[in-house]
Amino acid sequence: MLLGALLLTSQFLNSGQGPQAALVWYETSGLRKLEWDNYLSWLRFNGQAEQAKALEQQLREGNPHPWGNALLSEQFVTDSDARATDFWSSSQIQQWKTLREQAPQQLEQSPLYRWGLAAADPRPSRFFTAPFTGGTLWLTLLALACLALVAQPLERQLGPGRLAVIWLAGSVLSGAGYLLVTGPGQIPLHGAAPALMAILAAAAALSRKAIAITLPRGKQEPMSLNLPAWSLAFIPLALLIALTLGHPPMTANLSAGLLAAVGGALLALVLQPRGDQILVSETDTALLPPEQQQTMANGWDALGRLDGNTAERHFREVLNSDPQQFDALTGLFIAQQMQQPVQEAWHDTATTLFARPADDIGQATQIAQHWKQYPPASKETLPEKCAWQLVITLTQAGEYQQAEKLAARFAEISDKPDNRQNALTVLREALLSEGLKHRADALKV
C-alpha cells in the first residue's frame, strides 16, 4: 500500500509526460546555437561518429532528447572550457559560461532529468529514482492493479524487508536492462512498470498452491474458479507485453522488464525463508472474508513490530470464527511465544496446532519448526492423540528422527491403538520409501 501510494503520488505530482523544461530552455536560450555543432564535432573527433549520426537523425524525427546528451556531458563541458578560444569570441565565451551556470536550475524543472540523467550519461541514482518519474498513467495503473493481486500473500510469505530488497533490486535491474540496448538520445528510463516486474515475477516464482477466484453472479451463488499455481506467471507476462507495446522505446523497455523479472524471481527463491525462520504458508487465507484478511494482516504486521500482545489479539479474533485456521494458529503460537514470561495459554495453542492435520508439506514444515522450539518439559506432557497426529505431521515434513523419537516415547504408554497404528504405519512407509528398512523394521506397528 505504501509503495502504491508513492508511485501514484509521483505519477500526478511529477509527470514525465510532455515537454521537458530543460530541453526547451537549451534550444531557446541560445546554448544550443553555441555548442550543438561543436558537440557533434566533438563526438566525431572522439571516435563516436555513429552516435553523432544517430542524434542528428532523431532530431530530424522531432525527438528533442538528443540535446540532453550535450547538456549533461561533463566531459564535453570540460573540453569546451579548455578550448573555448578556438571557436568562440570573448563575448560568446562569457555568454556560454553564464548559460552553463543556469543549467542545473533548469534541470530541476524537468522531471525526467531531475530524477536521473539521460541514458547516454547515466548515474546510479537513475536506477532507484526512475520508477518515481511519472510514466504513462494507464500503464502505471495496470502495474499497480497487477501488484494488488499478489502483494499481500507475497509480503506475508517473504516479509516487508525482503520485499523491499526485491523492489530495490528491480529498480537497479530495470535501469541496467534499459541501458543495455538503449540508443543515444532516447528518452530516459521512467515509469513504475519495469521495476514492478521484479515483484510480480517473484510472486509467480514462489507460488505453490492453486489460485482460488470467486466471481459474483448476481442473485445466484458466487462461482468459484481454481487456477493452477503456474497461471500466476501470466500476470508479469501480460504487464511485460503492455510495457513493450505501449511505452516506447520498445526494445529498451522489453530489456528492462525482462531483466527485472528474471532477477526478481531468482532473488525471491534465494531470499525465501527457510529453516527456523518464520514461514507463512499460502493456505486458505485468501478464502477468508475481507475483514478477517485485514485482521490477519494486522496480526502479522504486529509480529513484525515485535508487539506480541497486539498480534495475539488479532489472531484470536480470526480464531473465534474459525478455530482451526492454520495461519492464525501459527501466528498466535509465535505471538504467545514472544511474550515473557510465556503464558500458560501458549501450551494450549501449541496443543491445538500440533493436533491439527497438515494440509500440505508447507504446513507440515511449519509445524515441525514450531515443535523444535517447544520446551522439552512440555513435550513430555503432550496429549496422546495430539502426539500421534504430530508423528504423522513430522513424517510429512521429512523430520523422521523427530517422528521416531516421539513415537518411541508414546508407544509404550499408548491406550489408543487405532491412533498409534495409523501413525506408525505412515512413519514406517515413509522410512521404507527412503531406503531406511532397518529403522522401519524397528517400529512395532
Q: How confident is the model at residue 120 (pLDDT cuts 50, 70, 90)?
A: low
Is position 217 within any domain? no
Is position 12 within any domain? no
CA distances for 368 relative to 176, 277, 315, 398, angstroms: 42, 12, 20, 9
Identify whether residues 152 and 244 lie together within a single domain.
yes
Is position 288 within any domain? yes
Q: How confident is the model at residue 77 (pLDDT cuts 50, 70, 90)?
A: very high
The reported pLDDT for the residue numbered 299 is: 87
Q: Find the domain containing 433 and state its range.
A: 382-445
The reported pLDDT for the residue numbered 174 is: 92
Q: How confident is the model at residue 277 (pLDDT cuts 50, 70, 90)?
A: very low
Q: How confident is the model at residue 24 (pLDDT cuts 50, 70, 90)?
A: very high
Residue 394 has pLDDT above 50, yes or no: yes
Is position 65 within any domain? yes
Residue 281 has pLDDT above 70, yes or no: no
Identify whether residues 145 and 247 lie together within a single domain.
yes
Q: How confident is the model at residue 198 (pLDDT cuts 50, 70, 90)?
A: very high
Identify whether residues 266 and 285 lie together within a single domain.
no
The reported pLDDT for the residue numbered 218 is: 67
Identify whether residues 315 and 352 lie together within a single domain.
yes
Is the previous residue joined to 341 through a cis bond, with omega within 30 degrees of 0? yes
Helix 90-107 / helix 31-45 crossing angle, nearest 10 deg? 90
Identify whether residues 387 and 436 lie together within a single domain.
yes
Beta strand pairing status for 211-217 and 220-227? Answer: antiparallel
Across 72-76, 104-108, 285-289, 304-308, least confident range: 285-289
Identify whether residues 41 and 66 lie together within a single domain.
yes
Per-position b or e across 298-337, b if 16+ CB within 10 A of its CB: bbbbbbeeebbeebbbbbbbbbeeeeebbbbbbbbbbbbb
The reported pLDDT for the residue numbered 183 is: 74
Is position 3 within any domain? no
Identify whether residues 62 and 187 lie together within a single domain.
no
Give the DSSP letter of residue 117.
-
The reported pLDDT for the residue numbered 362 is: 83
- Count of domains for the chain: 4
Across 94-108, 113-127, 139-153, least confident range: 113-127
Helix 361-373 / helix 384-396 crossing angle, nearest 10 deg? 120
Altogether, the residues listed in the chain come to a count of 445
The reported pLDDT for the residue numbered 42 is: 94
Identify whether residues 103 and 144 lie together within a single domain.
no
Global pTM exceeds 0.85: no
The reported pLDDT for the residue numbered 224 is: 62
Residue type at position 382: L
**What is the CB-side half-sphere exposure of residue 345 using CA atoms within 13 A?**
13
Identify whether residues 245 and 158 lie together within a single domain.
yes
| Cα dihedral 262, 265, 270, 275 in deg (nearest 10) | -170
Is position 290 within any domain? yes
Residue 445 has pLDDT above 90, yes or no: no
Per DSSP, what are the bridge partners of residue 136? none
Q: Quick one: which H or E segment has residue 214? A: strand 211-217
Average pLDDT score over residue span 196-219: 76
Average pLDDT score over residue span 337-363: 83
Rg (CA), the chain: 30
11-20, 154-163, 330-339: which is most confident: 330-339
> Which of 252, 271, 290 corresponds to the end of one domain?
271
Identify whether residues 388 and 360 lie together within a single domain.
no
Neighbours of 105 (CB within 10 A): 10
Is position 333 within any domain? yes
Identify whether residues 241 and 281 lie together within a single domain.
no
Q: pLDDT tens digits, residue range 300-318?
A: 888 877 788 898 999 999 8
Identify whether residues 249 and 286 lie together within a single domain.
no
Q: Average model confidence (pLDDT) for the chain?
A: 83
Is position 87 within any domain? yes
